[in-house]
Structure 1
Amino acid sequence: MVAIGIGNIDILSYDGTEWIERTLSNALYVPKFVDDGIVIGNNEESIDSVISHLQKKFEVKAMKLGCFLGMEIKKFGDGSIFVHQSAYARKVLQMQCNTLPSPRLMKSHLPAYLLPKEIWTVRTKLIHISRDVKDVAVSFYHYACNRYPFYKVSAHDLFHSFYNDYIVFGPYHQHVQSYRQLHHLDHLLLMTYEELSENTLACAKRVSEFLGCTLHIQFCRKGKVGGYRDELSEEDVKNFDEWTRRNKKELAME
């Protein structure tokens, strides 16, 4: 990839599976897995050039992107894309349901509109926990850095990507609202991380009554509420708050 000009400006490599090139006006990403890969960019000429160079050196078949490593990708007319794992999530849930005894406990980062439709007909009990988005961003940054040592990005750059909806598991506010608008459902319990931290026992009792079972409480991680104040700059806090106000207004969130 370096031989054809990818990565001359800013390169990030992970076991030889990903190349990134960035300029002020151009961004090009070429992740690959075994013998499959994607060429992603904001410039059609750059994308065509990479594919052309690869086809000259290797036996490469260029196809329309629809699914990659379990991720389904939809492209809209305005150039934006929507990435989800609905089919993969259904497959995993089916596998777990076939091997785990009932009652089963599963966790997911999916918004309500990407959950298997059977959840709404069978009326599986759901507990959704939301958290101050600024604390979420800080937690996500540390998780990414600890989980993926090759993840080389500054905290500020990640926060910028977060409140511009450029990260996975987003957009954040649309995710939260997808559950909040279903608050009337009796098989859905809405909670916040803040209330869990402030009054853990009372929340545990709510969960116990909701599930109709006895819970054994186990604590882990400090999960400090408002910990973002120690790590976010004033500019980032301001941008997060403005982003939140804008989204709450557009989504009619309380």
Structure 2
Amino acid sequence: MTHYFTDNWDNVQNFQAKPDDILIATYPKAGTTWVSQMLDLLYFGKSSPKRGVSLPIYERVPFLEICIPIFPTGVELADKMTTSPRLIKTHLPVQLVPKSFWEQKCRIVYVARNAKDNAVSYFHFDHMNCAQPEPGDWPTYLQKFQEGKLVWGSWYDHVKGWWEKKQAYPKLLYLHYEDLAESRGVNCLPPNATVCGPACSPARPAYVSLCGPSHEYRVCLGKVGDWKNHFTVYQNEKFDKEYQKKMMNITIRFRTEI
């Protein structure tokens, strides 16, 4: 990880979660902002319809481990929140999540995106974000992705670690980016998704649908299957072989097109 995520490490690890906190966890570029908007609208859209205009997303859903000079840290933003529940996002792998989230038995929503589209999206993101290392060309970047040598480490370890945690932690809802994209955010949360609490009841789907393509925040532009515009035939075949080896003993399944 870069220093923007490690400079405040002790405070991140000692962060005091509250029992009603909801942690939104993802590997980078897997729908973090999208799901953050959806949950914020679910919980606060009716009572504060202008909340999304008056408050930027990083204040409504603080990025826990972020630490950029001259700006409040993610921990500081989370600590000063007065909403209930607090929505907090992280890219931390499961083993690095502050222990207070487990001690307080917090609800957690994890979103996983298929590896090919995730790699492509992360590649473009790293080209536009000066806080990330220079990505280089696509073949080089794809190799680094496969080797887990990007910020936040291995996609494989990340999605598998959270998947395994789900089996033992009942308050963890594991979502797939492709399912959200297929439904365009409408009724994308299962009706029995009690991990989210009352706000996820079938009676409130209208607030989820606000995250569709016509919504002013434009948070749903990620395309499923865009990897086809970047992978060569050789890259795809090589990727598939390595993928099968690394995902051999895991039951999770991803869709690379819808």
TM-score by length of 1: 0.60
In the alignment, the residues of structure 1 paired with residue 4 and residue 129 of structure 2 have an alpha-carbon distance, to the nearest angstrom, of: 19
Matches within 5 A, 1:153-192: 153-184=136-167, 185-192=169-176
1:144-184 deviation digits (Å, cap 9, x = unpaired): 11223993611111111111222111211111111111223
> Structure 1 residues 152 and 123, CA, compared in 2 at 3 Å: closer, same or farther?
closer
Counterpart contact for 2:166–2:174, Cα < 8 Å = yes
Q: How high is the sequence identity, in percent, across the aligned residues?
A: 21
- Aligned equivalent of 1:113, options 84, 95, 99: 95
Structure with greater strand percent: 1
1:87 equivalent in alignment to 2:70 = no
1:1-254 matches, within 5 Å, as: 71=6, 87=10, 89-90=12-13, 92=64, 94-101=75-82, 102-148=84-130, 151=134, 153-184=136-167, 185-199=169-183, 200-204=185-189, 206=191, 209-211=194-196, 212-213=198-199, 214=204, 216-217=207-208, 218-219=211-212, 220-249=219-248, 252-254=249-251
131-140 or 90-99, which deviates more: 90-99
CA distance in 1, matches of 2:240, 2:9: 31
Q: Aligned equivalents of 1:203 and 1:95: distance in 2?
A: 31
- More off after superposition, 135-144 vs 171-180: 171-180
Distance 1:154 1:193, change over 3 A: same
In 1, the alpha carbon distance for the partners of 2:75 and 2:224 equals 35
Provide the secondary structure at the position in 1 that maps to 2:166. Answer: coil
Bigger radius of gyration among the two: 1
Larger deviation, residues 138-147 vs 150-159: 150-159
Structure 1 residue ranges, 4+ long, deviating more than 4 angstroms after superposition: 67-70, 91-94, 205-209
- Bigger relative contact order (CA 8 A; separation at least 6): 2
Query: TM-score by structure 2 length?
Result: 0.60
Q: Number of aligned pairs?
A: 174
Q: 1:152 & 1:182 partners in 2: Cα distance? A: 31
TM-aligned CA distance change 1:88 to 1:161, over 3 Å: farther
**Structure 2 unmatched runs, 5+:** 16-63, 65-73, 213-218, 252-258
